[in-house]
Amino acid sequence: MIEVQKLNKIYGSVHAIRDVSFEVGKGEILGFLGPNGAGKTTTMRILTGYFPATSGSAKVAGFDVFNQLDEVRRRIGYLPEQVPLYLDMNVEAYIDLVAQIKGLGGRDRKKAVEKVISDVGLTSMKRRLIKKLSKGYRQRVGLAQALVNNPEVLILDEPTVGLDPKQIIEIRSLVKHLAGERTVILSTHILPEVSMTCDRVTIIHQGRIVASDTIANLTQQNAKTVEIALTFRGARDRVEQSLRGLHGVVSVREAQERERPRITVGNDGASTLLVAIPSDSDLRGKVAKAVTDSGVELIDLRPREVTLEEVFIRAVSAEDRHEDSDATASTLSASEPSQSTSGHKEENR
């Protein structure tokens, strides 16, 4: 439904996106994940025909965004990051204006306007001036204007930014619900948003795509091995030795700071080892026994889930190392495991 190939955008001296390529299948919801300044908005603006790319090609709904822009525009709904609306109009008049601009007429238009207003939950607000609406409700108006022509493709630039937690949840479920058969690209820098709303995720960092896959694959839910995180107090080398001797164990390594399980009590002097075992065998009992037999105090044992956050940090820091900015990579890996990704972005800026 959306095919992007080797897009580049250069603003004067800023090379905002480099060789960006990805695809979105029909009906899919793609999370477009990246820190501030990664190039999300730039990519979306190219897809919506706001401005052309410096090089590369993109197709939306089967039409080229450079040569067949009119066809593309008829088939997309776009919600820009800043949600620019005509503040001096009331909700209904504004949505009706957009419906007319998008070419709807007569009875169809009336119906479409009414339906979209009720779909986004604005019926009680439809006579209200947009400037008197709260941010969350403005976001709904933004969604309504994007949806009013029943577009095949929906492009949403950070639809939950600046909202309170309750509104965020409401908008997310609205997006998921309204997506229906549509193909959706949703940009965000909030990781849970992606796991909650999207089927697939494409991670962009400093203008490059650094990872692109289903969430299950990225978080290794289908991997051949699973890792078990063992936390204990006592001599580490002895435990390591006995685990290595255990039949079936694939590898044993020390956990990095951010890979440690988040135990809130009694973490003093504890160390954590990660033991990889085949996912089709259950060695947990044997592993636990091996640990206690080596005379240490086992305080925690759990399968380690790879969070999207880790995938993100790994992808991003691999890219940074690849780049040459070691400074960024080290700030990233040294950061607290509990730190939200938005925290990293502050540092990256």
Partner 1 sequence: MRAFLALFKREVAHYFTSPIAYVVLVIFSFLSAWFYAIGFLFPFSEYSEQYPMIQMQMRQNPMMMGGNYPVPNFTELILPGFYGTLSIVLIFLLPLLTMRAISEEKRQGTIELLYTYPLTDLQVVLAKYLACMVVFTVMALLLILYLLIPDILKGELGGVIQWKPALSGVLGFYLFGAAAIALGFIFSAITENQIVAAALSFTLLLFLWVVGWAAQGENIPEHWRKVAEAVSLTNRSQDLYKGLLHLSDIVFFACVVTGSLFVTMRALESHRWRG
Ligand X SMILES: Nc1ncnc2c1ncn2[C@@H]1O[C@H](COP(=O)(O)OP(=O)(O)OP(=O)(O)O)[C@@H](O)[C@H]1O
Which parts of this chain interact with partner 1 (CB under 8 A)? 9, 11-12, 42, 45, 48-52, 70, 73-74, 76, 78, 80, 82, 84-89, 97-98, 100-103, 105, 145
Q: Is position 41 an interface residue for Mg ion (rule: CB under 5 A)?
A: yes
The distance of closest approach from Cβ of residue 158 to Mg ion in the complex, given in angstroms and rounded to an integer, is: 6
- Binding string, residues 79-98; x marks residues near ligand X by CB under 6 A: --x-----------------
- By a kind-dependent CB cut-off of 5 to 8 A, residue 327 interacts, out of partner 1, Mg ion, ligand X, none, with none
Q: Is position 40 an interface residue for ligand X (rule: CB under 6 A)?
A: yes
- By a kind-dependent CB cut-off of 5 to 8 A, residue 34 interacts, out of Mg ion, ligand X, partner 1, none, with ligand X
Q: Which is nearer to partner 1, 66 or 86 (CB)?
A: 86
- Binding string, residues 62-91; x marks residues near Mg ion by CB under 5 A: -------------------x----------
Q: Is position 14 an interface residue for ligand X (rule: CB under 6 A)?
A: yes
Figure out which of the listed residues 1, 2, 29, 41 binds ligand X, where binding follows CB under 6 A. 41
The distance of closest approach from Cβ of residue 217 to partner 1 in the complex, given in angstroms and rounded to an integer, is: 32
Q: Is position 251 an interface residue for ligand X (rule: CB under 6 A)?
A: no
CB 216 within 8 A of CB 222: yes
Q: What span, in angstroms and rounded, lies between the C-alpha atoms of 278 and 232?
A: 22
Q: Is position 43 an interface residue for Mg ion (rule: CB under 5 A)?
A: no
CB 1 within 8 A of CB 72: no
- By a kind-dependent CB cut-off of 5 to 8 A, residue 78 interacts, out of partner 1, Mg ion, ligand X, none, with partner 1
Q: Which is nearer to ligand X, 54 or 335 (CB)?
A: 54
How many of the other CB atoms lie within 10 Å of CB of 216? Answer: 12
Q: Is position 121 an interface residue for ligand X (rule: CB under 6 A)?
A: no
- By a kind-dependent CB cut-off of 5 to 8 A, residue 151 interacts, out of Mg ion, partner 1, ligand X, none, with none
Q: What span, in angstroms and rounded, lies between the C-alpha atoms of 58 and 52?
A: 10
Binding site for ligand X (CB under 6 A): 11-12, 14, 16, 34, 36-42, 81, 189
Which positions touch Mg ion (CB under 5 A)? 40-41, 81
